[in-house]
Amino acid sequence: MSLLKIKNHLDRFLILYVIIAMIVGFFAGLHMDIKHHAHTFKILNMVVVISMIYPMMITLNISALGKASKSLKQIIIALIMGLVFAPLLVFGLNLLFHINPTLSLGLILATVVPCSSMAIAYTGLSDGNLELATIVVALSFTLAIITVPGWLKLFASSYHLSISAWLLIKTIIIVVFIPLLFGYITRIILLNKLGTQGFLDIKPLFPTISILGMFVIVVLIFMEKAKLVASKPSVVLISLVPLALYYIISLSALTFFNKALKLSYEDNMAVIFTSVGKNEGTAMAIAMAAGMGMMAIPPAVTPILQIPFLVGYLKFSNKIKKWWER
């Protein structure tokens, strides 16, 4: 089976594998003394986090940042919607449903992280503006070094929770900035050694490794929190309600907003997928690396909803295009 077929298989059945990973981790955690192996888990978490984020960064085309000035309005809209509107919306939903503070912060973490590199794939499949999507993804990861610890510190104080800003910044540097730097260096080396076509041939390998790493992280999260989830099974269900509303409100509101601003259909698809879709792997990595406990649960269940909503929007792309042209 080719690398591309493996990647497509994992993408197609991502929700199923995430659910299986949750079940495996949950039942394994019920029968293990996790506290006795805390040090081993800490090292394992960091190794898996880096193995997941680093390959993702190799596929990121940072050189596209030089063309950002051509689509300044669209970039600003995508970044504001993804890095400002999203956490504020979820914060409001948390207040509406009176959700537990620690769980609330986990929900905010799930939506304050940068967009997924899968946003580029969704944009391409919908005949959207690929260049714009690439620029937004690269900028989102760069700005995450400031926005993620900033928002989490702000919301933690409003929930009367104590979170070290330095711990967050250090975690972001470890799980985002360092892999971003080494990913960029690796990309240049591979392009020089293999050429553009050779790099494209092995490119499906990197997201495949990242997806496999994400499954392992989900297993580890539910292993560590199995006994807590068993005592409070409503935790997972409570997480899904605000997340579902987030996707419904964001997708519909942003679509009408982009239409009102007279963005092209191609730019709309790039803005939608890069601002609404979130990198749940990065959110889980931050929570695990910073030892945030319950906060890791919402990012772990995010794929269960994010994938159907974004794929659903992709399925409606032809109808959206016709409506746009009207």
DSSP string, 101-162: HHHHHHHHHHHHSPPPTHHHHHHHHTT--HHHHHHHHHHHHHHHHHHHHHHHHHHHHHTT--
pLDDT tier at 303, thresholds 50, 70, 90: confident
Residue 161 lies inside a defined structural domain of this protein: yes
Give pLDDT tens digits for 76-110: 999 999 999 999 999 999 888 888 888 888 889 88
pLDDT at residue 200, rounded to an integer: 85
Higher pLDDT, 80 or 130: 80
* Alpha carbon separation from 19 to 109, 214, 303, 310 (Å, rounded): 20, 12, 9, 18
pLDDT tier at 164, thresholds 50, 70, 90: low
The answer on pLDDT for 68 being more than 60 is no
Please list, in sequence order, all residues whose beta carbon lies within 8 angstroms of the beta carbon of residue 222, skipping any fewer than 6 positions away. Answer: 21, 22, 24, 25, 26, 29, 229, 300
| Beta carbons within 10 angstroms of residue 216's beta carbon | 18
State how far the Cα of 12 lies from the Cα of 170, in Å rounded to an integer. Answer: 34
Give pLDDT tens digits for 42-57: 777 777 777 777 887 7
pLDDT at residue 271, rounded to an integer: 94
Residue 323 lies inside a defined structural domain of this protein: no
pLDDT tier at 288, thresholds 50, 70, 90: low
* Cβ-contact 141, 180 below 8 angstroms: yes
Mean per-residue pLDDT of the chain: 81
Domain range for 227 is 3-316
pLDDT at residue 253, rounded to an integer: 94
Give pLDDT tens digits for 229-256: 677 677 677 778 899 999 999 999 999 9
pLDDT at residue 77, rounded to an integer: 94
pLDDT tier at 64, thresholds 50, 70, 90: low
Residue 322 lies inside a defined structural domain of this protein: no
Length of the chain: 326
Q: Give the rounded distance of the alpha carbon of 177 from its chain centre.
A: 15
Residue 325 lies inside a defined structural domain of this protein: no
Mean pLDDT on 201-220: 80
Residue 324 lies inside a defined structural domain of this protein: no
Mean pLDDT on 145-171: 75
Higher pLDDT, 292 or 306: 306
State how far the Cα of 138 lies from the Cα of 54, in Å rounded to an integer. Answer: 14
Closest C-alpha to 275, from 304, 251, 244, 299: 251
DSSP string, 255-297: HHHHHHTT--HHHHHHHHHHHH---HHHHHHHHHHTT-GGGGH
pLDDT at residue 13, rounded to an integer: 79
Q: Give the rounded distance of the alpha carbon of 123 from its chain centre.
A: 16
Residue 270 lies inside a defined structural domain of this protein: yes
* Dihedral sign (CA 283, 286, 291, 292): negative
Residue 75 lies inside a defined structural domain of this protein: yes
Mean pLDDT on 22-50: 79
Q: For the chain, how many structural domains are there in total?
A: 1
Residue 51 is part of a domain; what is its CATH number? 1.20.1530.20
Residue 121 lies inside a defined structural domain of this protein: yes
